[in-house]
């Protein structure tokens, strides 16, 4: 079941990405900078400014933030339960995704490490490993307001 959910999330992530038109060329240096950052997978600001995210994205990120803030996992089972809740929130974020262009790419640069970490969290075998992964997810979720408005 967990494998199915992970595959579903990956499928939704891929389906959510905008179609590119390879025949279009641009000499705009900011577009070139965005392309380089997209290829590297780095989350960066939009020329020093925060990216614009739509209201449904803000709602879904707030839900993730609430989960990660309110949960106080102590046992491995607690961490696994939190991972399931976070996965449901991630899937909702992906399903509801309507953003396009560079903002969309920036959102995915923010989200992909969370998805990877959450996949590992759901399979963690020790409390120490789970705690490290959970804290990494918390940090990544909490940087959202620094990069998006």
Contact call for residues 104 and 13 (beta carbons, < 8 A): no
CATH topology of domain 50-149: 1.20.120
- What digits encode the pLDDT tens for the residues 24-71? 433 333 333 344 444 457 999 999 999 999 999 999 999 999 999 999
φ and ψ of 96, to 5 deg: -85, -5
Beta-carbon contacts of 60 under 8 Å, excluding residues fewer than 6 positions away, are 89, 92, 93, 96
- Tell me the C-alpha distance between 68 and 139, whole Å: 10
The string of pLDDT tens digits covering residues 96-120 is 999 999 999 999 999 999 999 999 9
């Amino acid at each position: 079941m967990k494998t199915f959910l992970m595959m579903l999330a990956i499928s939704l992530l891929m389906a959510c990405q905008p179609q590119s038109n390879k025949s279009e060329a641009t000499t705009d240096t900011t577009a070139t900078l965005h392309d380089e950052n997209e290829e590297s997978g780095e989350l960066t600001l939009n020329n020093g400014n925060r990216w614009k995210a739509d209201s449904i994205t803000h709602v879904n990120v707030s839900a993730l933030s609430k989960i990660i803030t309110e949960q106080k996992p102590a046992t491995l089972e607690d961490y696994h339960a939190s991972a399931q809740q976070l996965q449901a929130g991630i899937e909702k974020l992906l399903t509801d995704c309507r953003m396009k262009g560079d903002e969309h790419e920036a959102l995915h640069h923010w989200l992909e490490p969370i998805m990877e970490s959450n996949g590992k969290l759901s399979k963690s075998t020790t409390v120490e490993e789970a705690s490290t992964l959970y804290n990494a997810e918390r940090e990544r979720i909490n940087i959202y307001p620094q990069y998006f408005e």
